[in-house]
Structures are given as C-alpha cells and as structure tokens.
Amino acid sequence: MSDDDPRDLPSRAVPDGVSDATVDALGALSEALETTERARGHLYTFHQLTGEADLALGEAVEKLRAAGHADVADRIATDLVGRNVIPGHWTFQVVEAYDDTYWSVFREHERAAREALAGGARHLFEARMKQERRTAGRAGHEAAPEDVR
C-alpha cells in the first residue's frame, strides 16, 4: 500500500477544509451520476436497436410483398413500420426527454456540488481510494501517468 508520499496524486489533493465526510458524500453523488450515465447509454442502445428493428421490419415487409403476401405486408407496414414506441415519441425523443429533464439537471447539480464543496475537483473519493490501495514505487501502481517509466 501507499507510503504516503506527499507528491502522490498532487492534482487530486483534497482542497484544504474539505472533510473526509464531504469527500465521501461527493463520491456517492458522483457514483449516482455515473449510474445515470450508464442508463443514458442504455437509452442510446434502445434507440439504435429499435431503429435497426424498424429498418429490418421494412425489409421484411418488402419480402412479404415479393412472396405474394401483400395483405399481410400492408397491415404490418401501415400499423407497425415507423410506429411510436410510446405515445407521440420515437426513440430519439425519449433520449432527448431524458437528457433535457433528468440527465442534464443531474449533471448540473453534481457539478454545482463539487464547485461549492471542493473547488470543482472531480473524483476525490476515487483518488483517495487509489492512494490507499496502490503500492507506491511498484510498476503498475504509479500515482500519475507521468510517473510511468
């Protein structure tokens, strides 16, 4: 583990006056934000997969027509191709609504909390954990990229 070298992680030093409890609280807030980032990524996956499915559905409709099943093709094309995934919304609108009403507000609150409580410093909790868990002086445990030889 670390031998508390004072030059370790200088860019991640906890600002004067910031308590361990505050670092812990900001770490919890950051972790919650990271979860929303993952959720947003899943929304983009949902968006892309649904779009791919709709395009594939269009191709299936054409194959049904070519196979002589125009009545089935017409029903699917009319009712399902290009259909909203929830009332009034295609997937891009779901993503935009999430971004505008939740994700961007969450990000702003997290940033404002860091600014107010830690001078804007990011990932102080993780930096402290890295400092506590790494073996100072050992290859692969460098404090910062510039320490890699």
Instruction: Answer yes or no: are the C-beta atoms of 131 and 9 closer than 8 Å.
Output: yes
Give the model's confidence band at 11: pLDDT under 50 very low, under 70 low, under 90 confident, else very high.
low
Q: Which position has the token pair 């983009």?
A: 44
| Boundaries of every domain in the chain | 18-142
Query: Is 70 exceeded by the pLDDT of residue 9?
Result: no
Spell out the residues 6+ positions from residue 50 whose beta carbon is closer than 8 angstroms to its own. 85, 91
Token pair of 56 as six digits: 């594939």
Contact 1, 132 (CB under 8 A): yes
pTM: 0.81
**Is 76:83 a contact under the CB 8 Å cutoff?**
no
